Amino acid sequence: MKHTQLIVLVALVSFFSCKNENKKDLKVDNAKPNFLFIAVDDLNNWISPIDNFSNVKTPNFERLAKAGVTFTNAHVQAPLCGPSRASLMTGLRPSTTGIYGMTPDNKIRRPGNPATKDITFLPEYFEQNGYHTMGIGKLFHIHAPDSVFNESGGRVKGFGPYPEKRFVWDGFGKGIKGTHGRTSTDWGAFPENDTLMPDHQSVNWVLERLHRKYEKPFFMGLGFLRVHVPLYVPQKWFDLYPLEEIQTPPYKSDDLNDIPPVGMQINVLPMMPSTEWAKESGEWKKIVQAYLACISYVDNELGRVLDALESSKYVDNTVIVLWSDHGYRLGEKGTFAKHALWETATKAPLLFAGPNLPKAKKIHAPVEMLSIYPTLLELSGLPAYKRNEGKSLVAMMQNDEGVNEAKAITTFGMNNHAIKVDGYRYIRYEDGKEEFYKHSEDPNEWHNEADNPKYKEQIKLMKKYLPKVNSKWDSESNYTFQRYFVEQKKRVNGQ
H-helix or E-strand spanning residue 24: helix 2-31
Domain presence at residue 23? no
Q: CA-CA distance, 304 to 29, in Å (whole number)?
A: 27
pTM of the predicted protein model:
0.92
Average pLDDT, the chain: 92
Spacing of C-alpha 63 from chain mean position? 20
Contact yes or no for 338/78 (Cβ under 8 A): no
Q: How many angstroms separate the CA atoms of 192 and 82, rounded?
A: 31
Nearest partner of 80 among 491, 490, 495, 484, judged by Cα:
484
Q: Is residue 170 part of a domain?
A: yes
Q: Is position 203 within any domain?
A: yes
Domain-embedded: residue 406: yes
Q: Is 81 a catalytic residue?
A: yes
> Does 22 reside within a domain?
no
Q: What is the DSSP letter of 382?
A: P
Q: Are strands 187-189 and 231-233 parallel, antiparallel or unpaired?
A: parallel
**Number of domains into which the chain is organized:** 1
| Residue 323 belongs to domain with CATH number | 3.40.720.10
Does residue 63 lie within any of the structural domains?
yes
Q: Name the more confident of 170 and 132.
A: 132
Known catalytic residue: 18? no
- Among the options 132, 141, 180, 417, which is catalytic? 141
The per-residue pLDDT for range 184-242, each reduced to its tens digit, is 889 999 999 999 999 999 999 999 999 999 999 999 999 999 999 999 999 999 999 99
Q: What is the pLDDT of residues 395-450, one digit of tens each?
A: 999 999 999 999 999 999 999 999 999 899 999 999 999 999 999 999 999 999 99
126: in domain: yes
Range of the domain at 40: 30-493
**Catalytic member of 81, 143, 180, 326:** 81
Determine, yes or no, domain membership for 243.
yes
Q: Give the pLDDT of residue 304.
A: 98
